[in-house]
Amino acid sequence: MTAAREWTDNFEWNAHTPLAQQTGLSAAHLTAISERRRPQNMSEEEDVLYDFCQELLHNKSVSDATYARALAKFGEAGVVEAASLEGYYTYLSMVMNTARSPVPAGVKPALAPFPK
């Protein structure tokens, strides 16, 4: 969800919102992410992952402190998986934005469009 928001990829945002909710991400957290705000009342896992993803997207890496928190919470395999998924959805967003992948007919895009 953070990559879709970062890249304003409404196709991925629309496709993954129901899945995110099914796995327990609250509507309030999704709204905050869509509005580029830090979600309130996150679980410890969500907080660590949010910081990790935001730093990776904005700084192209993560700080030692953020890496240590993620490593302690998710282990090395989890850190690698988180970075891989952020990169994968960044790639998909780049391709879908370039291809102008639309949301389904009748669906209003949830993310504010970027200037063209």
In this structure, is residue 106 part of a structural domain? no
In this structure, is residue 56 part of a structural domain? yes
What's the confidence (pLDDT) of residue 112?
A: 85
Beta carbons of 100 and 9 less than 8 angstroms apart: no
Q: In this predicted model, what pLDDT tens digit does every residue of 20-68 receive, in sequence order?
A: 999 999 999 999 999 999 999 999 999 999 999 999 999 999 999 999 9
pTM: 0.89
Q: In this predicted model, what pLDDT tens digit does every residue of 71-97 receive, in sequence order?
A: 999 999 999 999 999 999 999 999 999
Measuring CA to CA, which residue among 55, 52, 59 is closest to residue 80? 52
**Distance between alpha carbon 73 and the CA centroid of its chain, in Å?**
18
What's the confidence (pLDDT) of residue 113?
A: 74
Total tally of structural domains belonging to the chain: 1
Measuring CA to CA, which residue among 97, 83, 102 is closest to residue 4? 97
In this structure, is residue 41 part of a structural domain? yes
In this structure, is residue 115 part of a structural domain? no
In this structure, is residue 110 part of a structural domain? no
Give me the domain span that covers residue 57: 2-99
In this structure, is residue 111 part of a structural domain? no
In this structure, is residue 105 part of a structural domain? no
Distance CA 38, CA 27 (A): 13
In this structure, is residue 82 part of a structural domain? yes
- Residue 88's SS3 state is helix
pLDDT at 114 over 70: no
What's the confidence (pLDDT) of residue 108?
A: 92
